[in-house]
Amino acid sequence: MFPMPENWKELTVKERQTARLQAWANAGLEFTTPEAKKAYEQRTRMISDVVQLKKPERIPIIPWVGVYPAQYNGVTVEKLMYDYEVLGDTFRKFNADFLPDSLVSCSMIGPGKVYELLNIQHYHWAGHGTPPNTSYQYVEEEYMRADEYDTLINDPSHFFQHTYLPRVVGSLGPWAMLSPWTNVIELPLVAMAAVPVGIPNVQQSYQKLLAAGQAALEWFGAVGPIENASMAGLGLPQIISGITKAPFDYLGDTLRGTRGIMLDMYRQPAKLMEAMERLVPIAIELGLSGANAANSPFVFMPLHKGADGFMSNKDFEKFYWSSLKVVLLGLIDAGAIPYIFVEGGYNQRLDIISDSGIPAGHTVWMFDQTDMKEVKKKLGGWAAFGGNVSGSLLKAGKPQEVTDYVKRLIDDVAGDGGYILANGAVLDDATAENVHAMIDTGKEYGKY
Amino acid sequence: MSQALISAITEMREEDARQITTQLLDGGADPLKILDSCKQAMDIIGDQFENGEAFIPELILAGEMIKSISEILKSHMTEEVVTHKLGKVVIGTVQGDIHNIAKDIVVFMLDINGFEVTDLGVDVSAEKFVEAVKETEATIVGLSGFLTTAYDPMKVTVAALKEAKADVKIMIGGGQVNERICVYTGADAYGQDAIAAVSLAKQWIGA
């Protein structure tokens, strides 16, 4: 948990960021060796320097890793979702063998048992709708209908409880019968709100939720020591803790779907804008709660439906960027560091995102298929950036090609610091030689 | 051709497009001529997409407009229209991948451009592709995949089609697909977007 200083309200935004970075660097881990402690300090220092646009002693290497550790360890993703001993072996091995500069966390793999107990409908996962060796995948539908904007805007929490969750979580279907808890304002209304909870199938849904909660806690209890072993044993700081999204993706990914939200841009733009504005404080709180709980300043934000080709720059500014910017500023104001993963290409968007309204040295931008020389031109001196080593190269290239590519990338854009070496698309499938080539080249060639 | 209808569609005026269609029909216009105007409008939007002037919302909304106009026209058509198809395409998202958004746009654009498209959906095995090609006698196959884990299933599918001696040209597409993956999978070409898929298909059938 982030120990918030008592004078928090009096601190400037920069001081708040520094407080979070310092708390993260002094995490209170019981390191197993002095070397691990030293390595942890060095890594947090390098990453802090990069965020604050200074030249670190070496380029930090923070690969974005999905399910690749399973393939590397010769086990299925499905196995990792059910057998936490194998989960631990797999991620400890991956972290130890590749030694990146931040923890590759096992938490994103998730617990299959919990998803089964809840009867999750809107995702397929390894062995449950997708092959045992793949990542989870989203089943995109219009889980919120076009005529439900007012219900969402009026009370997002109740919309989730009463409408959204019953549609996507099989075991919570009966929650459609629950009334809003904001009804509970006079004693007789307490009883009225409790009535639907007594209905037998609502009771059953709570039984399932209790079982899922227990299974989730078991999983969480297993994950903690696994992460801790790599953090304290190898000196790997945790980067990703909080997660949140751009309001457009919050709505477009989770509720309306791509087709739905794109039609809303034409058919009901005012409602769409109003809903995104309503989601802004929720998105900020979501990111901060994770950052606070894990005592890491970084809030991971994958950007999806605003990439090149998804809409014009004019629409991007209006529908995507305007509310995303407010979320970024809200996170920054609380001292957090948005760690933004820009999926796809953002070649048309660089002028818009390098917005002078966002203070320099408070964001990190990781790119996939964007021209990195242009990124440096537009973002250099304003925000830390990185990424771009492609999934296709790591899968189908040769180690020498990876080495050459990484060297060229460093030559092109890393000169002044403020740079992180990373892959572009999430690492699910690759060859170990290529992943080593990326990381090892960064370590050797990335010294300043 | 109705310039008013073409403009309504290309300017994304959905309600106007419907009204103009009804007015044209009331005035005794030939439904086939109205369809031609729709086709013309889609060509313009396709060009705009290629030039970076139209984007996915416009493709999706245009698709919706054409669908709803076709519905209106149906009740005015006396007989089933037999249109000459340019060629046959079998398309699907490869095994292990369930992403469909981009593939669906490709299907729509191929269809509107005169191809007979058999859409096998998502998570499609190599065997299913081979079977579908045999059944439909398609000469073009489109393999879609969003994840990097789709690379190998694409490769397997290309190999299975070659093994079955299917006389087809194969294109691949998806967020993480590029020239390197085209070579890796053994596909004939890759496309960056739906418009690229249409031009590849047209090129392959010599249209």
What residue type is B7 in one-letter code? S
pLDDT band at B80 (very low <50, low <70, confident <90, very high): low
CA A170 from centre of chain:
25
A45 contacts: CB under 8 Å, gap ≥ 6: A25, A56, A57
Domains of chain A (ranges; CATH) run: 8-445 (3.20.20.210)
Q: How far apart are CA B186 and CA B158, in angstroms?
A: 6
Counting residues of chain A whose pLDDT is more than 90, the rounded percentage is 99
**Cβ–Cβ contact B196 with A under 8 A:** no
pLDDT in tens, A366-421: 999 999 999 999 999 999 999 999 999 999 999 999 999 999 999 999 998 999 99
State the SS3 of B143-156: EECCCHHHHHHHHH
Which of B57, B183, B184 lies at the smallest CB-CB distance from A266?
B57
Q: Which residues of A touch B57 (CB under 8 A)?
A: 262-263, 265-266, 310-311, 315
Domain B87-205 superfamily per CATH: Cobalamin-binding domain (3.40.50.280)
Counting residues of chain A whose pLDDT is more than 70, the rounded percentage is 100
Domain(s) of CATH 3.40.50.280: residues in chain B? 87-205
pLDDT in tens, A300-316: 999 999 999 999 999 99
Q: What is the pLDDT of residue A384?
A: 98
Which of A258, A309, A428 lies at the smallest CB-CB distance from B101?
A258
pLDDT band at B55 (very low <50, low <70, confident <90, very high): very high
Domain B3-74 superfamily per CATH: Methionine synthase domain (1.10.1240.10)
Which of A137, A263, A397 lies at the smallest CB-CB distance from B64?
A263
ipTM exceeds 0.85, yes or no: yes
Nearest residue of chain A to residue B65 (CA atoms): A263
Model confidence at B81: pLDDT above 80 = no
Closest chain B C-alpha to A135 CA, distance in angstroms: 9
Spatial contact of A215 and A117, defined as CB atoms under 8 Å apart: yes
Is B147 in contact with A265 (Cβ distance < 8 A)?
A: no
Domain(s) of CATH 1.10.1240.10: residues in chain B? 3-74
CA angle A12, A288, A324 (to 5 degrees): 85
Q: Which residues of A touch B123 (CB under 8 A)?
A: 130
Model confidence at A243: pLDDT above 80 = yes
A196-215 mean pLDDT: 98
